[in-house]
Amino acid sequence: MSFSLLAAAGAPNPLLPATAEIVVGFVAFGLLYMVMRRRVVPLFEKAFTARTEAIQGGIERAEKAQAEAAEALVQYTEQLSKAQAESQTIREEARVQGAAILEELRAKAQEEAARITATAHASIEAERQQAITSLRNEVGALAVELASKIVGEALDDQVRQSRVVDRFLDDLEKSKK
């Protein structure tokens, strides 16, 4: 049979449910809707709220951690710049101290050289004076001996010898000038 024949015969339409089924379906749907609305939806909303709060808290914690990290970076940068400035100051102080030490050593070396030179000059002068005295004595003795031979008399008297030698050397020095 065809569909048009069934519809014409007044038979119920198999596609349309019976009215009692529609009413029972609406009542069951309403009851299911109410149970879902009162019991299940609040659980979902609570889970969504908890999840939203967790996400929001995570974002806030991440932002807080990021702010702390930025602050730590700023502090680290400041400490690094302070350390660099301090190391530069220490290097400069060391350079100045090194220069001062070198200058002090140079001054001490010059003082030591001057002292050694002065000591050498004093030693040379003492030796010169000693040599002059020794030469005077030798020249005096030679002069006395020569004078004794020339004059023919002995000049044994020490005072007389000293006078003769001194006069001879004074004459010699006057003749050099």
pLDDT confidence tier of residue 170, bands split at 50, 70 and 90: confident
> Which structure tokens are listed for 175?
């003749």
In a domain, 11, yes or no: no
For the segment 81-125, what is each residue's pLDDT rounded down to a tens digit?
A: 999 999 999 999 999 999 999 999 999 999 999 999 999 999 999
Range of the domain at 142: 16-176
In a domain, 7, yes or no: no
In a domain, 111, yes or no: yes
Number of structural domains the chain divides into: 1
> pTM for the complete prediction?
0.39
In a domain, 8, yes or no: no
- The whole-number pLDDT of residue 87 equals 94
Long-range contacts of 52-58 (CB under 8 A, 24+ apart): none
In a domain, 116, yes or no: yes
How does the average pLDDT of the chain come out, rounded? 84
> Which structure tokens are listed for 60?
């806030």
Q: What CA–CA distance (Å, rounded) separates 120 from 135?
A: 22
